[in-house]
Amino acid sequence: MKTVSNPTFRAVAILKAYSGRERELRAFVAEVLPQIRRVAGLRKLEVSRSLSDPAQWMLYYCWDSPADSERYVAGALYAGIAPQLAALVEEHLLIVGELFSE
């Protein structure tokens, strides 16, 4: 069941830094996190780094709705982030889904 503290829509962004740009990606993610966390409809954002591949990062978003995620990706904040992110990552995958089980 959806509640304010437990939204039912999740998004996972998987980022893989270009070789030699891992530290820059880490710093960039840390810099933009506070801004992203203020986006309307976003309840929670967690960031993890892969144990098997330190160049790979996973961002776990908890949204009120898929439309909130879509608005963020289409909005001004993401438009400002995207070019810098593209310069740092060789792979960027985004998956949006509905919570199946807790």
State the CATH number of the domain containing residue 66. Answer: 3.30.70.100
Which structural domain range is residue 30 located in? 9-98
Domain assignment present for residue 51? The answer is yes
Alpha-carbon distance of 77 to 95, in angstroms, equals 19
- Domain count along the chain: 1
Q: Cβ–Cβ contacts within 10 Å for residue 36, how many?
A: 17
Query: Residue 6 pLDDT > 80, yes or no?
Result: no
Alpha-carbon distance of 79 to 42, in angstroms, equals 17
pTM of this prediction exceeds 0.75 = yes
Q: What is the pLDDT, as a whole number, of residue 102?
A: 66
Which two tokens mark 87?
Answer: 């310069």
Alpha-carbon distance of 76 to 80, in angstroms, equals 6
Domain assignment present for residue 1? The answer is no
- List pLDDT tens digits, range 80-91: 999 999 999 999
Q: What is the three-class DSSP state of 56?
A: strand
Domain assignment present for residue 23? The answer is yes
Domain assignment present for residue 81? The answer is yes
Cβ-contact 19, 10 below 8 angstroms: no
Query: Residue 1 pLDDT > 70, yes or no?
Result: no
Domain assignment present for residue 33? The answer is yes
Query: Residue 16 pLDDT > 80, yes or no?
Result: yes
5 vs 69 pLDDT, higher one: 69
Q: What is the pLDDT, as a whole number, of residue 7?
A: 64
